[in-house]
């Protein structure tokens, strides 16, 4: 199963991806998680990406395409993967198709979680409260100012990715405002599982 999950920040992509990992036994490839790991490890990519991420802007296409290109070659991706947070620009979507073609692979599905934007800030606040209640820390970019920039980046750069896949008849849209279990059920139906 090679799947792309699309949707704005706070749409529930991470939550649903975790469930799909269990069901299909393929890894979740979150460019956000990989970049946060690079920041924590202070790798050259991490050092460059930190300020951009904290501000809620997008890291350059070359960097994330390179990360995904390499990651897909790992043994645990042999049966597939769930892309969460990538592609985020039309250029990334095109690069993804090219790199998969080069590897002799193709996507099985592209699914968008459609959500009401008004709910997203509340979901972000809840994610912060949950992280703190669990004894952890909130993400550096989960604050109202960065979140606003992330939503603007989504509208300007990532919403066109949905249109890109829709124009190729590759996109399935599901209601991301439904309760989590219902979203999972709809996702499974969309995937024919």
Contact at 8 Å (CB) between 146 and 50?
Answer: no
Q: How far is the CB of 36 from ligand AMP (least distance, A)?
A: 7
Q: How far is the CB of 187 from ligand AMP (least distance, A)?
A: 18
Binding of ligand AMP at residue 58 (CB under 6 A)? yes
Binding of ligand AMP at residue 53 (CB under 6 A)? yes
Q: Is residue 83 left, alpha or beta, with left meaning phi > 0 and alpha meaning psi from -120 to 50?
A: beta
Q: How many residues bind ligand AMP (CB under 6 A)?
A: 17
Is 97 in the active site?
no
Closest CA to 105 of 117, 97, 114: 97
Q: Between residues 9 and 80, which has the closer beta carbon with respect to ligand AMP?
A: 9
Binding of ligand AMP at residue 88 (CB under 6 A)? yes
What is the 8-class DSSP label of residue 158? I
Q: How far is the CB of 141 from ligand AMP (least distance, A)?
A: 6
**What are φ and ψ of residue 132, in 5° steps?**
-70, -40
Contact at 8 Å (CB) between 21 and 33?
Answer: no
The residues carrying an active-site annotation are 13, 88, 127, 139, 150
């Amino acid at each position: 199963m090679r799947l792309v999950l699309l949707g704005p920040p706070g749409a529930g992509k991470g939550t649903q991806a975790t469930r799909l990992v269990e069901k299909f036994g393929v890894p979740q490839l979150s460019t956000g998680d990989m970049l946060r790991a690079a920041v924590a490890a202070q790798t050259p990519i991490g050092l460059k990406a930190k300020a951009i991420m904290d501000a809620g802007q997008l890291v350059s296409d070359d960097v994330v395409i390179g990360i995904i290109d390499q990651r897909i070659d790992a043994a645990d991706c042999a049966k597939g993967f769930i892309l969460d947070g990538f592609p985020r620009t039309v250029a990334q979507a095109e690069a993804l198709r090219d790199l998969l073609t080069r590897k002799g692979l193709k996507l099985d599905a592209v699914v968008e979680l459609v959500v009401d934007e008004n709910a997203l800030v509340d979901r972000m606040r809840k994610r912060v409260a949950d992280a703190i209640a669990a004894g952890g820390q909130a993400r550096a970019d989960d604050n109202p100012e960065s979140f606003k920039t992330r939503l603007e980046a989504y509208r300007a750069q990532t919403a066109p990715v949905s249109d890109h896949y829709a124009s190729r008849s590759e996109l399935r849209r599901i209601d991301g405002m439904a309760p989590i279990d219902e979203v999972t059920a709809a996702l499974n139906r969309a995937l024919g599982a």
